[in-house]
Structure 1
Amino acid sequence: MIFGYARVSTKDQNLDSQLDALQKAGCEKIFMEKESGAKDDRPERQRMLDQLRAGDTVIVYKLDRFSRSMIDLIQKAEELRQRDIAFVSLTDGIATNTPTGKMQFNVFAAFAEFQRDIIRENTKAGLAAARARGRTGGRKQKLTPKQEKEIHTLYAKGDISVTQIATAYSVHRNTIYNIVGKKNKK
């Protein structure tokens, strides 16, 4: 079966040109969506993907109508390939059921993997540079080591409640329990 998928980003935009092209391409069932390209959640696309069977074909008007990023596109195309489902983009001239289309997607996949590797490398380098300068990730500590020692002493005495200690230091009760638990583990 030949499925079509059409999407526009806003409620004001019109699906007509995509629908005309998909019908002309022979789509037997067309799923339509008016969702922002930035959203991951595309219920109609997911409904279509759930209905696909081996031997089916998915046709889109343009690649960016189907997917929000190159990485997402490659992942979805790979899922379709593994399920023996062809993928066609009309305006981009890509059809994974042809040798040329398969090659194009393999090139895209290589670029997507390269992009992921570069991002990973840059992230590691940035974290290493920050550590070398004495900075670590995460939230800045709200309490000083001196304050933590005071809290541990107050808690150990047992004269005031955890709620009162938390209020005095402007922290949550869980913070007090974390400090006391951390001290006891040492």
Structure 2
Amino acid sequence: MTSTLVGYARTSTLEQIAGLESQVRDLTAAGCTKIFQEQVSSVDTKRPELERVLDYVREGDTLVVTKLDRLARSMANLMEIMGKLRSKGVELKILALNLDTSTPTGKLMLNMLGSIAEFERELMLERQREGIAKAKADGKYRGRAPTARNKADKVREMRSQGKTVEAIIEELGVSRSSVFRALKEGKTAA
């Protein structure tokens, strides 16, 4: 089975043409025979070229990026991408980190990065829980206002007037599940 090096290059804005060109140059120098590139912020939910490259790569291929932040927006996102790559038998190579998941050391480094990120997230959540508990004890925390529950009477009233669920959703700005929950609670209360 022949291994193909497939590159992915991304910059956040259209103005970063030089950055995109340098990534393409580095990926070509690394031996990539096909390079997917896009200019889109990593916080955008849609990165069509990333989806295309993840669909394109095949077992035995290696996805190559110049830097980790060109590929993933967070460690959780990286782990999601790695799951897709592993399921297809594809390795990852990050040039700036000299990380190659086809080697035992590369796999170890990636797992360590993931473990550290998970540990940091757990610490952050623990601090958040402690802060909420303290705020509750001090009477300063009330939580998020249940906006849909506050509109339950209006949901039932509009439905009794013959309004469709879609019309209620649009007019009140609540979710479909909130509408059905309010209608169900109205029946059990009656």
Normalising by structure 1, we get a TM-score of 0.71
* Secondary structure in structure 1 of the residue aligned to 2:97: coil
Which residue of structure 2 lines up, in the alignment, with residue 166 of structure 1?
none
Task: Say which is worse superposed, 118-127 or 45-54, in terms of deviation.
Answer: 118-127
1:185 is aligned to 2:189:
yes
1:109: how far off?
1.2
1:125 is the counterpart of 2:133: no
Shift of 1:80: 1.7
> Among residues 129, 140, 144, which one is paired with 1:137 in the alignment?
144
Equivalent position amino acid for 2:59 in 1 = A
Please name the residue that 1:159 is paired with. Answer: none
Structure 1 gaps of 5+ residues are 156-161, 164-170
Pick from 64, 70, 73 the counterpart of residue 59 of structure 1: 64
Matched, 1:112 2:117: yes
Using a 3 Å threshold, how does the CA distance of structure 1 residues 183 and 27 change in structure 2: closer, same or farther?
closer
**CA shift at 1:136, angstroms?**
3.5
Unpaired segments of 5 or more residues in structure 2?
A: 162-170, 173-177
Aligned residue among 26, 41, 44 for 1:39: 44
Deviation at 1:21, TM superposition (A): 0.8
Identity %: 37
- SS state at 1:37 partner: coil
Q: Do the aligned partners of residues 139 and 130 (structure 1) sit closer, same or farther apart at CA in structure 2, a change above 3 Å counting?
A: farther
1:5 and 2:8 correspond: yes
Distance in 1 between residues matched to 2:144 and 2:33, nearest whole Å? 52
Q: Is the 8 A contact 1:31 1:48 kept in 2?
A: yes
| Secondary structure of the structure 2 residue equivalent to 1:91 | helix
Give the letter aligned to residue 41 of structure 2. Answer: S
Structure 1 pair 81/183, CA: closer, same or farther in 2 (3 Å)?
closer
Equivalent of 1:29 in 20, 28, 34: 34
Quick check: 2:54–2:84 contact (8 Å CA) kept in 1? no
Once the two structures are TM-superposed, the CA of residue 142 in structure 1 deviates from its matched residue by 6.3
CA RMSD of superposed structures (Å): 3.3
Equivalenced residue count is: 162
What CA distance in whole angstroms lies between the structure 1 residues aligned with 2:131 and 2:145? 14
- What residue in structure 2 maps to residue 98 of structure 1? 103
* TM-score, normalised relative to structure 2: 0.70
Name the stretch that deviates more: 95-104 or 82-91. Answer: 82-91
Deviation at 1:37, TM superposition (A): 2.4
Q: Which residue of 2 aligns with 1:76?
A: 81
Residue type matched to 1:75 in 2?
E
